[in-house]
Amino acid sequence: MEQVTIQKNEEERSLASNTRLILSLVVIAAFLDVVDFSIVQIALPTIRAELLISTADSQWVIGAYGLTMAGFLMLSGRAGDVYGQKKLFITGIIVFTLASLTAGFAPSLLALVASRAVQGVGAAITSATALAILTATFPEGKERNRAFGIFIAVLSAGFAAGALAGGVLTAAFGWRSVMFVNVPIGAAAVLLSQRYLAEDGGRAADRRLDLPGALSVTSGLILLVYAFTNAADAGFSSLQTILPLGLSALILAGFLAIEYRSEAPLMPLGFLRRGTILAANVITLIIAGTAVGLLFLLTIFLQQILGYSALFSALGLLPPTLIFFVVGGWGASWLLDRFGMKPILVLSTTLITVGSALLTPISVAGGYFGILPGMLLWSLGASIGFPAVTIAGLAGTKPGEEGLASGLINTSGRVGGPVGLAVILTVASATNPQPLGAPGSAAVIGFQYAFLVSTILNGIGLGIALLIGRGKAPTGMHSFETSNAVVG
């Protein structure tokens, strides 16, 4: 009897060790994406100066990455279900790492943008499969909540590390070093993943991949993000916005028709009606969109209007990032376990809405400390909101659907970014008496209107959170399937 107990304890310790190792590997890979986003954002002014490119053209260093990542998330998630998450996960890291290397050696804007586009494909594959691996490893309830809390905390730390590293590396070694820093991290992640991640061979019940659906949703999403990226610069009435937006609408409508008729759909339409999945994805779309717009405007405010260096701008964003690390990493999972999903989503969206409202009086006279309360309150809400909506978007998934749910919630976040940025920048540009980033007190009038729109959008997110059916934080597999309808 004692021998059986000892053997059982050893098996439990081995299982716990394996799950911690899986979480670490997934976090390392996701860390690459977050670090890359913040590190390149900080280095962008230097890239623009060295390559002698305009502000509008330089945005494609960010935009190309966002286009391909948003476009390939759905396909990557479902491909992982069909062909195996480990295989796709490692492939994504390799693609991302090699593209980072070529980006560091890029001799021109065109070469840099091409490398960034390939980076986006690798990041899409890795991001979709990373969440799917976590979903398959940790059962719904406290274990998954805690795992996602740690996941979000480390990613928040990655954002801070990327911002700080971007400022330090750019100042000391030039912008190319911010590309090269991904290479050793990626190489280590590949070696460790190959050795320690278990082979899964694909868990989807139907092993066919819906290629017509995959092609249509990928091209439709790329065109959608491209249209809104153009809108951020040229406005919604421009031909370069209207044409891809119209084509995107046609192609995505075709995707829905394909999925309705397909025997093995890439995204079964009934999946959206399950539990909290639809509400979680809509809230993610809103929060991610306003977050990207907020970060972009605050970066302009700190660097171009207040005259902060890249390093001091990064330090200025450190307090809210620390809130993400501490509250999002450990507080969010405890709150979810203690109070349940709906109360936390309501609290999160309330704090985000009030935080956005506190940013509307932004002014040159108020300086950094004028925007600090709004940033802190917004980050407090978002730090508990992102883990909550991610868990809600993955709740109730059946074996073989982890990649589908992961790809969908990731897509909502990635599409929300350029959509929100386009809307907020359009408002800021249309209402600002001077070009964005110009010196002087009048240069932030458009910012005030932009943050007002952000407040309204987040208020809509709050309304959706209030309409979610009652339910506690998930405590068992498929627990959200027994909750009330998502909306209404």
Query: 3-class SS at 264?
Result: coil
- 198 and 133: one domain? yes
End-to-end Cα separation, the chain, in angstroms = 55
User: Nearest 5°: phi and psi at 248?
Assistant: -60, -45
Q: How confident is the model at residue 186 (pLDDT cuts 50, 70, 90)?
A: confident
Give Cα 438 to chain centroid, integer Å: 30
Which range, 82-91, 160-169, 231-240, 331-340, has the best average confidence (pLDDT)? 82-91
Report if residue 257 sits inside a domain. yes
- 272 and 222: one domain? no
- 283 and 406: one domain? yes
Using one digit for the tens of pLDDT, what is the confidence trace for 31-58?
777 777 667 777 777 787 778 777 667 7
- 13 and 116: one domain? yes
Where does a domain end: 221, 238, 265?
265
Q: How confident is the model at residue 6 (pLDDT cuts 50, 70, 90)?
A: very low
Query: 3-class SS at 319?
Result: helix
- What stretches of 52-106 show up as alpha helix (H) in DSSP? 55-83, 85-104
- 288 and 252: one domain? no
Mean pLDDT of 372-389: 89
Nearest to 129 by CA among 65, 179, 189, 85: 85
Mean pLDDT of the chain: 79
Residue 392 one-letter amino acid: A
Counted domains in the chain: 2
What is the CB-side half-sphere exposure of residue 375 using CA atoms within 13 A? 24
Q: Report the pLDDT value the prediction gives residue 4, as an integer from 0 to 100.
A: 41
- What stretches of 340-436 show up as alpha helix (H) in DSSP? 341-359, 367-394, 402-431
Query: Could you list the residue range(s) of the whole structural domain that residue 410 is in?
Result: 2-209+266-482
- 379 and 235: one domain? no
Nearest to 126 by CA among 153, 86, 164: 86
Cα–Cα distance, 378 to 116 (Å, whole number): 30
Cα–Cα distance, 194 to 182 (Å, whole number): 18
Mean pLDDT of 286-306: 86
Mean pLDDT of 446-474: 83
- 201 and 218: one domain? no
Report if residue 488 sits inside a domain. no
Q: Which residue has the tokens 């976590």?
A: 134
- 316 and 222: one domain? no
**Domain containing 80 — which CATH number?**
1.20.1250.20
- 254 and 337: one domain? no
Mean pLDDT of 135-155: 74
- 243 and 224: one domain? yes
Are residues 138 and 27 in contact, defined by beta-carbon separation less than 8 angstroms?
no
For the chain, state the CA radius of gyration.
22
